[in-house]
Structure 1
């Protein structure tokens, strides 16, 4: 459990952050300069808030009213940065165990458990200079876990990696969130990362928390477009793999009784899947059309329409009890007579679906194996 309610200043930049989350992965999302790292530095004890309270893992780390401000060491916050910050003269194994030795901490977590979790067993005798960027980050995460943290802060851990290295490490981050047993605060300005990895999403802008809650609910909020970015506006649909078509390379995902087809999805039958659908990739119709190449045709109902003065509007639709966003022109909305409560048909191209998500409880690949995502 993480509880943060703080105010403070760093230079002229003011912070006012308040949010709560559970023991899984919480994402702090915002554009560059939003204040995400400053908030996490307050949690870690690197910056002292002017007032407020911070609780992690049931331990009060900071409480201005009670005069509590634990030292950085006593807070037991593991920190993973953009760069791995490994000791170049030490082997991977010695890097992994360094924080436990230096901090004099005793942890029930075995080295072998962390090695298996992050798939670094074959790297133990190597030096950091011989590792890829993704391998270095996995070692850095393992070192933080072995320091017996009550909270793991991951500050833009993929920002310095290219696409190939990100694809290499993301399945391990999936597994980390599901199996590590340590609350994780994941900081990023990449929406695809937080949509994939987090259960709770905290939106930060100009040093303030604009809102927080379950990731699907937060992505569905049309009032946060400035903070999340209009181009990446999206929603999450959760379902389960129900069939595979090996001839055409398509998997069928059951979304509350409605079926979607996703290319290249290798999940087993029954696996929970989280699909990210961008608002710009959703078209609306008043009925079910014929003669289209679009394979995903879902029935829904309009929940809300944003009032805007520009050329576009955001339509929030209910589909099998879940929310989907569509971004269309205001002219189209007017010509179709769209209004809250009106039934609509949603059209989504299979090739537009960001299938690189997982749902709660999804089965994960073994270390070194192929991700299901």
Structure 2
């Protein structure tokens, strides 16, 4: 459980946000300048707000009203920044042990070997930071923070300095950290894909104010929270299970609340749980069963809501079984199809719409 309430002015900018979150990953989402990093600095103790309260797992770290302010070094919070900030003259092993140095008086916690295995850096222990890729350096930085035995891990846009290839490399390790390390994480990002892959709870910030807070699946359906080009990034977040593989055609069948989905072949065993994001821009809507169609995923459902956008688009919510999908269509298409709440429709998604950005392992 994380409880945060902050009011803090920096010049003309005012941060005024409060939220309570449970779960393994709480994402702070918003555009640059929305107040995400300032909020993280308050939680870490690097910024002293005019008014604030921070409680982690029942331990009060800050309460300006009661005069409580636990110093930074006693908060037991690990922080991972945009850049790895490793010490270049030390080996990977020595950088990792530097994190353990600050936790030498705290019992328990993972071993260096366990952390190295978790983050896939066991083969890098004797190397220096200069010989590592950007993704490898970030994994070492995460390991160093984890070895400090934190009660909370703050990750301030840890992937923003990496190219797309390095982001794809490190995201599965962050997901493993979420599932196996059992340390709550506050994850800062302005990338919808990262939030969808990792978060249990999403806190949306805009110009210093919290505009939404709730379960990731609920928040990511709300297209109004994703302005401009990111509107189509909104969509459904589904928990599915690997049901079977088709090695002849390189496909995997997933089963779950909306029915059956076919996606490109996943290197996962049958029975593995996955989190799948179905982007609104990847969903087509039909009134009749299509014939001779290349798309493999045709899911029957009922329209539950239609929300016109500011531009030419409309947002259509469709209940498919026990799940809800979201489609982004033009207002003209919604008009010509006479879409209305209660109307039976078919939600159509191409198998190739799913990729490593939209599918993440929950736990095997």
TM superposition score category, shorter chain reference: over 0.9
Aligned match of 1:272: 273
Contact 2:224 2:231 in 1 (8 A): no
Aligned match of 1:15: 15
For structure 1, the residue ranges without an aligned partner over 5 or more in a row are: 364-373
Aligned match of 2:330: 329
Structure 1 window deviating more from structure 2 (110-119 vs 99-108): it is: 99-108
Contact 1:5 1:54 in 2 (8 A): yes
User: How far is 1:11 from its partner?
Assistant: 2.0
**Residues 1:281 and 2:282 aligned together:** yes
Q: 1:104 to 1:12 in 2, by over 3 A?
A: farther
**Residues 1:28 and 2:28 aligned together:** yes
**Residues 1:256 and 2:257 aligned together:** yes
* Separation (CA, whole Å) in 1 of partners of 2:118 and 2:356: 23
* Separation (CA, whole Å) in 2 of partners of 1:33 and 1:354: 30
User: How far is 1:289 from its partner?
Assistant: 1.3
Structure 1 window deviating more from structure 2 (348-357 vs 147-156): it is: 348-357
Aligned match of 1:242: 243
**Residues 1:111 and 2:112 aligned together:** yes
Aligned match of 1:41: 41
For residues 16-64 of structure 1, what are the alpha-carbon distances to aligned partners after superposition, in whole Å with 9 as ceiling and x for unaligned?
Answer: 1111222401111111111110110111111122213111132111112
Contact 1:107 1:147 in 2 (8 A): no
Aligned match of 1:369: none
Contact 2:168 2:356 in 1 (8 A): no
User: How far is 1:244 from its partner?
Assistant: 0.9
For residues 143-186 of structure 1, what are the alpha-carbon distances to aligned partners after superposition, in whole Å with 9 as ceiling and x for unaligned?
Answer: 10111211100011111112222222111111100011111111
For residues 186-228 of structure 1, what are the alpha-carbon distances to aligned partners after superposition, in whole Å with 9 as ceiling and x for unaligned?
Answer: 1111111111011111111111111111111111124423399
Contact 1:6 1:52 in 2 (8 A): yes
**Residues 1:143 and 2:149 aligned together:** no
Q: 1:309 to 1:198 in 2, by over 3 A?
A: closer
**Residues 1:100 and 2:112 aligned together:** no
Any idea what SS the aligned residue of 2:26 has? Answer: strand
* Separation (CA, whole Å) in 1 of partners of 2:132 and 2:346: 49
* Separation (CA, whole Å) in 1 of partners of 2:163 and 2:226: 27
Contact 2:80 2:155 in 1 (8 A): yes
* Separation (CA, whole Å) in 1 of partners of 2:290 and 2:73: 62
TM-score scaled to structure 1, two decimals?
0.92
Any idea what SS the aligned residue of 1:313 has? Answer: strand
Contact 2:284 2:347 in 1 (8 A): yes
For residues 236-262 of structure 1, what are the alpha-carbon distances to aligned partners after superposition, in whole Å with 9 as ceiling and x for unaligned?
Answer: 122111111111101111132621110
* Separation (CA, whole Å) in 2 of partners of 1:162 and 1:305: 36
For structure 2, the residue ranges without an aligned partner over 5 or more in a row are: none
Contact 2:258 2:299 in 1 (8 A): no
Aligned match of 2:182: 181
Aligned match of 1:121: 122
* Separation (CA, whole Å) in 1 of partners of 2:361 and 2:206: 27
For residues 98-142 of structure 1, what are the alpha-carbon distances to aligned partners after superposition, in whole Å with 9 as ceiling and x for unaligned?
Answer: 133256543412222212211222211111111111111111111
* Separation (CA, whole Å) in 1 of partners of 2:70 and 2:351: 51
**Residues 1:76 and 2:76 aligned together:** yes
* Separation (CA, whole Å) in 2 of partners of 1:232 and 1:326: 10
Structure 1 window deviating more from structure 2 (254-263 vs 327-336): it is: 254-263
